[in-house]
């Protein structure tokens, strides 16, 4: 598959539940302040946030680190001004063709305030993914941030994937030590069995839950 085909495939996946993803991306903007140092993770929901950040008037003067190649490519092609208004750094590592991201991440920072990540699944058992590369990325980031902001459209709530990326036991320990976990999601699947129950359990475990719509 050519690189162009890979970007087209990613764009197709980004369009799944796109309105929900855009809605929660706009909600996340409320959690970003001028001068923040943030990390933008891989995935289509975070890519939607990258689009929102690049819109005119969103001048945050940020220090942005990312391993999301789709976002960097989009900014270079369509939103070049973001590079003059913010610092943008890309992590070192290996290229994942599947998710258009850098994996086995190596970065020059030892601590950063906010990591903004997507997740294929979030349940009362924790975060999970369909590939091991995501496990490494999440482990790398969580050790280095004080606030974990998770973008997950409501189709991901209650879903459990093959590989645990952060168990609820570890998340509880993180929260006990002062780390904040914030889930930003939508209300469109509230009628689906288990969704509201999962959200209630996450809140009981110490998650801050912000819902769009």
pLDDT at 98: 78
Measure CA 31 to chain center: 13
Beta-strand relationship, 126-129 and 121-123: antiparallel
Q: What is the pLDDT of residue 5?
A: 63
Q: Give the pLDDT score at 59.
A: 65
Burial of 108 (0-12, 13-18, 19+ CB in 10 A): exposed
The confidence score (pLDDT) of residue 6 equals 61
> What are the tens digits of pLDDT across the range 143-195?
999 999 999 999 999 999 999 999 999 999 999 999 999 999 999 877 778 89
Task: Give yes or no for a contact between 170 and 145, defined as CB atoms under 8 angstroms apart.
Answer: no
Task: Count the neighbouring beta carbons within 10 Å of the beta carbon of residue 88.
Answer: 17
Which one has a higher pLDDT value, 193 or 85? 85
Distance CA 165, CA 153 (A): 18
The domains of the chain are located at 3-212
* pLDDT for 106: 86
Mean pLDDT of 16-23: 82
Task: Give the integer Cα–Cα distance in Å for 19 and 38.
Answer: 24
- Tens of pLDDT, residue by residue over 99-127, are 888 988 888 888 899 999 999 999 999 99
DSSP state of 38: E
The matching CATH number, chosen from 3.40.1710.10, 3.40.50.1360, 3.40.220.10, 3.40.50.170, for 3-212 is: 3.40.50.1360
Asked if 172 and 206 touch (Cβ cutoff 8 Å), the reply is: yes
HSE-up of 140 (CA within 13 Å, CB side)? 22
- CA-to-CA distance for 42 and 23, rounded, in angstroms? 18
Q: Residues 4-18: what's their mean pLDDT?
A: 67
Average pLDDT over residues 44-64: 87
pLDDT for 32 beyond 90: yes
């Amino acid at each position: 598959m050519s690189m162009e085909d890979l970007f087209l495939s990613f764009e197709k996946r980004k369009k799944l539940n796109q309105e929900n993803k855009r809605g929660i991306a706009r909600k996340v903007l409320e959690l970003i302040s001028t001068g923040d140092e943030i990390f933008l993770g891989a995935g289509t929901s975070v890519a939607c946030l990258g689009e929102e950040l690049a819109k005119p008037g969103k001048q945050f003067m940020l220090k942005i680190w990312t391993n999301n190649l789709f976002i960097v490519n989009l900014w270079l092609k369509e939103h070049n001004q973001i590079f003059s208004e913010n610092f943008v750094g890309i992590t070192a590592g290996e290229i994942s063709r599947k998710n258009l991201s850098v994996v086995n991440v190596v970065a020059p920072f030892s601590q950063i305030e906010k990591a903004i990540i997507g997740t294929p699944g979030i349940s009362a058992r924790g975060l999970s993914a369909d590939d091991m590369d995501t496990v490494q990325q999440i482990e790398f980031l969580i050790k280095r941030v004080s606030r974990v902001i998770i973008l997950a459209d409501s189709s991901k709530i209650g879903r459990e994937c093959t590989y645990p990326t952060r168990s609820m036991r570890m998340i509880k320990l993180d929260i006990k030590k002062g780390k904040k976990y914030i889930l930003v999601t939508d209300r469109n699947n509230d009628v689906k069995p288990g969704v509201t129950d999962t959200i209630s359990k996450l809140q009981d475990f110490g998650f801050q839950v912000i819902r769009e719509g």
